[in-house]
Structure 1
Amino acid sequence: MTRRLKICVKSAILSAGLTFAATVTTAGTTLIHGEAGPNRGARAAALQWFADQVGETSGGELKIDVQWGGALFKANAAVQSVGDGVADMGTVIAVYYPQEMQAYGIADLPLENPDAWVGMRATDELMRNSPSIQADLADKNLVYIGTFTTSAVHIGCTGDAIRSISDIKDRKIRGTGAYGRVFGELGGNMVNMSIYKAYQGLDTGLLDCSQGYSYAVTALKQQEVMQNYTLLDWGQVGGVGIMMNKDSFDALSAAEQTVIMDAGSAMADEFGRLITTANAAAIDTMKETGIEVITLPQDDRAQLVAAGAKHIDTWVENMNAAGLDGSSLLTEYRGLIAKYSAEREDQGYPWTR
């Protein structure tokens, strides 16, 4: 039995009769996308835009059927599920896969770049053009398609606010990636919980605070259970994007592959527009509902940046141990951040030109 046939048989069993491999019909090819988040908020809008673009550009020959809310698989099962063919593609969050998605995790490092569009453009170019990253993904039967970002990392709490880094001590905090590790090193009691369950955690007292992203707070209605929200302007969790099953991708024609890849690249500009607007609107919503919005003092922010530096070094070491040149990738990525930061300064964002 070939690998492709094994995958199709496994997919059929797991989906209780639904077809999750590329399905050819008289109307063209339908690709199934698994998304753990709900069908609301900026990311959902960008994902739907991506699906619509693929349909329109292909003249209806390619269709993407998005399965929302973890209907196919949860966020912490996305890599295995897409690689095994449970879906043709899916949204992958790198922090849930510190080993498998280590290369993509470069976008999660606290590199003092909270700008969503700059981060997405830098990440997209690196993931799309690095032969070593492409080969690493191929080993997992994956192809990179496009990227989102959580945008700038902030923190929302019930009870006492975080007004300085000393306020982190002894708080029960949901955090992820290097940011979560720094919260723990500064005395926070870390709670392993996904962002999709943070509402319940804050509401029941399992959490005092949750690492958050402005648009996600309102998309997940967490403003209902928060009392304050502290702006950190530290960095972002940008290792969030679309991966495709390599067998499904390879089964497409060259023209169809180009349609998918072009829409994935363009998604960074569309999501940049959406997320910038959504973040501003979310802050307004929080203020309107009585949530105190606080900006962390610069001295405290500098201490967060310094505390995160060793986690950048650790990422480089781990990449080297995995057989990829971490130092070169980091240098290239920082150069791309500088490139797109300069473009933003010179030309503005694409949607304002």
Structure 2
Amino acid sequence: MTKFLTTAALALALGTGAAAAQTTLFFGEAGPNRGARADAINFFADEVERLSKGDLTFDIQWGGALFKAEAAKSGIADGVADAGTIIAVYFPQEMAGYGIADLPINNPDPWVGMKATDELMRSNEQIQQNLADQNLVYIGTFTTSQINVGCKGATIDSVDDIAGLKVRGVGAYGQAFADQGANLVSMSIYDAYQGMDSGLIDCSQGYSYVVPALQWQEIIDSYTILNWGQVGALGVFMNKDVFDGLSEEEQTWLMEAGRAIPDELGEILSVENDAAVQMMRDQGIEVVELPEAEREKLVEAGSTYVDQWQQTAANVGIDGETLMSEYQSLIDQYTQEVEDQGYPWTR
């Protein structure tokens, strides 16, 4: 098994107490060191170092230096890195339990989604065992935030408006659009600007903070807030052999830092998403909030993909129906918390 000779591994091999002095872990991230997720990863690493008073640190390798996104699961499980980011959509079978956070259900709030996902991943024994069988330990979760759609030369005011549009879609959200008559075009989000500019596509699904990042405001005429769901099955995982070799105190530091991610990233996304929507309004872009009745049509359209996910989960020994019930309950719980107390950063 290929493995970096981290301070932790060296200490274990020598049977010394060196790891108690300082442990450096290698972290693999396929994305660049910029943007909301990078900010959350840096926060996580800084939080681990703070909690441990410098005894436990990360050496973060950005931009796929250790492995690309589609090789992250094996890269971490096999020890190419001690920890790193796994995006579940690349591993629909192996990460079936985690994939629940990607489903097109009524789950648009980034903080609520992350908190519900985080608690589910920590508490559900089926998921824990499935990950352990793959030599993985769950540490913390991210989200891309809710899926919305920007269009050039079109406006989506209702589900009926989707029919006939050429749309760059995202996973099950794109497929649900196709079920409503959209013509799906396979395209990277980074190519959506050129696609809309050239007429290759009319619209692109994406996230509010992506609009200024990719300069969509220069090209789109309308932006529809779907209030539908999010892509939330991406987060920090660790090699179980390495994790089990750490002290109980070190494991606690990692888990505490992982639990703190939703509050930090939730605030980042809230600020960036709100600023992006206001920027679009200021520039005269029509911002539409899909009516509740229309949103419910999308949630219903997504139910097919929830059923498909449940079958995938069953194939790996996970009771998808029970898991979905638990997840929905957690979403309701944290939604109520926001209604009663507001978000943590506003309290």
TM-score normalised by structure 1 residue count: 0.87
C-alpha distance after superposition, 1:3-55 (max 9, x if no partner): xxx222xx6xxxxxxx6796769872222222233323322222111111011
CA distance in 1, matches of 2:129, 2:251: 17
C-alpha distance after superposition, 1:120-150 (max 9, x if no partner): 1111011011111011112222111101112
What is residue 15 of structure 2 aligned with on the other side? none
Residue type matched to 1:185 in 2?
D
Residue type matched to 2:97 in 1?
A
Structure 2 SS opposite 1:300:
helix
Contact 1:50 1:264 (C-alpha < 8 Å) held by counterparts = yes
What is residue 34 of structure 2 aligned with on the other side? 40
1:257 aligns with 2:251: yes
**Alignment gaps of 5+ in structure 2:** 12-17
Residue type matched to 1:110 in 2?
P
How many angstroms does 1:230 deviate by? 1.4
Contact 2:6 2:24 (C-alpha < 8 Å) held by counterparts = no
C-alpha distance after superposition, 1:187-212 (max 9, x if no partner): 22323344455455555655433221
What is residue 187 of structure 1 aligned with on the other side? 181
Contact 2:7 2:22 (C-alpha < 8 Å) held by counterparts = no
Contact 2:103 2:305 (C-alpha < 8 Å) held by counterparts = yes
What is residue 165 of structure 1 aligned with on the other side? 159
How many angstroms does 1:266 deviate by? 1.1
What is residue 7 of structure 1 aligned with on the other side? 2
1:267 aligns with 2:261: yes
Contact 1:21 1:85 (C-alpha < 8 Å) held by counterparts = no
Residue type matched to 2:107 in 1?
N
Contact 2:208 2:276 (C-alpha < 8 Å) held by counterparts = yes
TM-score normalised by structure 2 residue count: 0.88
Which residue of 172, 189, 206 maps to 1:212?
206
Residue identity over aligned pairs, in percent, reads: 57
How many angstroms does 1:260 deviate by? 0.7
Which residue of 33, 41, 44 maps to 1:50?
44
How many angstroms does 1:341 deviate by? 1.6
Contact 2:147 2:228 (C-alpha < 8 Å) held by counterparts = yes
C-alpha distance after superposition, 1:89-136 (max 9, x if no partner): 222222222212111111112221211111111110110111110111
How many angstroms does 1:308 deviate by? 1.1
CA distance in 2, matches of 1:291, 1:206: 21
Contact 2:27 2:82 (C-alpha < 8 Å) held by counterparts = yes
C-alpha distance after superposition, 1:64-90 (max 9, x if no partner): 222233333332332222222222222
CA distance in 1, matches of 2:45, 2:197: 35
How many angstroms does 1:225 deviate by? 4.7
What is residue 94 of structure 1 aligned with on the other side? 88
1:76 aligns with 2:70: yes
Structure 1 SS opposite 2:335:
helix
Residues 302-311 or 256-265, more deviating: 302-311
Residue type matched to 2:62 in 1?
W
**Alignment gaps of 5+ in structure 1:** 1-5, 12-18
CA distance in 2, matches of 1:194, 1:24: 41
